[in-house]
Amino acid sequence: MKNKHMMLLGVAGICLGLSGCAPKAAETKATETTAPAGSKPFVVAYNQWIGFVGLFTALDKGYFKDAGLDVQAKQFAGPADSVPLLLTGKVDVSLTTADTVILLNKQAGSKPMACAYVIDTSDGADGLIAQKDIRTVADLRGKTVAATLGQCNEMLLLKALAAAGMKRTDVTITNMDADTAGAAIVANKIPAAVTWEPWLSKAMPGGAHVIYSSHDAPNILLDVAAASAQTMTGRSADLRTFLAALAKGAAYDKAHPDEAAQIAAKHLGTSAADTTTMLSKVKLYGADDNRKLIGTPAAPGAAFTSATEIGHFLVDQKQMPTMPDVSKTFTTEYLPQ
């Protein structure tokens, strides 16, 4: 994944790709499908992340077109970059991270965004990678580690330190986005960094190795399809159509992993062999999985526990002044049947 995601699930937390220090929104590329003449484009923002292979497949297979939806998929540099445009109505859906939704909902006022679909979770595709002379997390004591402050990769670092009986003050954290950090590891410019695929794989031939990953903190780093109140009320039918085709794409990927790797490779600019490895490090979710993760108002699922953990993290990092109300962060209303 070139520009990842994130979110935490579970009592230990679900880091949903925090974006407090994300760069300014910057659209970089656009792809689109073709639908019946006169239909209003449905603009979907994403960043280059292996977990979004369902979107890539739905685009390539024509699932959106077949459903009569003119999807315009616009690529952004990172998971948080497109959310301001979602709030202003320039984007209909943003493939981002739940933490981003929680953080930026403070700008939405009385009409908050919601996570309408949990797309995937990282299961080893994010990690703390170190140069070859650093064998364990404990070996980081007194050393510099790159991580994006206020985002989920910082949360993953803090979990790694805690698992090793260490504190934040035992290392020096330098603020760096995950792609830059990954490139710095490859160039042997920093001792360690929290980054994601494909940088984890790119760094290994030079001797670097992963000493802690999202696999060690199960159900962390979730990506979601976020919709604004404007989309949910004004384009509810299109939102349902989009999510149904997205779920169809994810189902195809799980049934045809070799082809999914080829499709992802084309969109991510990597080899099929690399994307095959990346796909083994994410869990793709369908509609039924979402109903379990999200639950109901009377019986909330694990995603709400995770959202609470993220809210506390944001407050601790002074990204938010008070604990946010996460009760409406997720919705199952627009999921395909």
Indicate if the pLDDT at residue 2 is higher than 70. Answer: no
Structural domain 7-122+220-316, CATH architecture: 3-Layer(aba) Sandwich (3.40)
Indicate if the pLDDT at residue 288 is higher than 60. Answer: yes
Mean of pLDDT values over 161-175: 96
Indicate if the pLDDT at residue 220 is higher than 80. Answer: no
Q: What percent of the chain has pLDDT over 70?
A: 88
pLDDT (tens digit per residue) in 38-72: 469 999 999 989 999 999 999 999 999 999 999 99
Mean of pLDDT values over 10-19: 38
Residue ranges of the alpha helices (H) in the chain?
53-61, 63-66, 83-87, 98-104, 152-163, 178-186, 199-203, 229-234, 236-255, 257-268, 272-279, 287-294, 302-316
Fold match flag (7-122+220-316 vs 126-213) = yes
Q: What is the pLDDT of residue 14?
A: 39
Tell the CATH superfamily of the 126-213 domain: Periplasmic binding protein-like II (3.40.190.10)
Greater confidence (55 vs 16) lies with 55
Q: Which of 161-165, 217-221, 254-258 has the lowest mean pLDDT?
A: 217-221
Closest CA to 71 of 84, 81, 61: 61
Q: Does residue 263 contact residue 301 with C-beta atoms inside 8 Å?
A: no
pLDDT (tens digit per residue) in 106-143: 888 889 999 999 999 999 999 999 999 999 999 999 99
Indicate if the pLDDT at residue 10 is higher than 50. Answer: no
Reported as a pLDDT band with limits 50, 70 and 90, residue 23 is: very low
CA 54 to CA 121: how far, in whole Å?
13
- Domains of the chain: which residue ranges? 7-122+220-316, 126-213
- The Cα-based distances of 50 to 148, 195, 238, 242, 277 in angstroms read 20, 14, 24, 19, 10
Q: What is the pLDDT of residue 329?
A: 92
Q: What is the pLDDT of residue 79?
A: 84
Mean pLDDT for the chain?
87
Indicate if the pLDDT at residue 15 is higher than 60. Answer: no
Mean of pLDDT values over 131-160: 93
pLDDT (tens digit per residue) in 230-241: 999 999 999 999
- Count of alpha carbons within 13 angstroms of residue 95, beta-carbon side: 29
Q: What is the pLDDT of residue 163?
A: 95
Greater confidence (95 vs 218) lies with 95
**pTM confidence score:** 0.83
pLDDT (tens digit per residue) in 242-268: 999 999 999 999 999 999 999 999 999
Reported as a pLDDT band with limits 50, 70 and 90, residue 331 is: very high
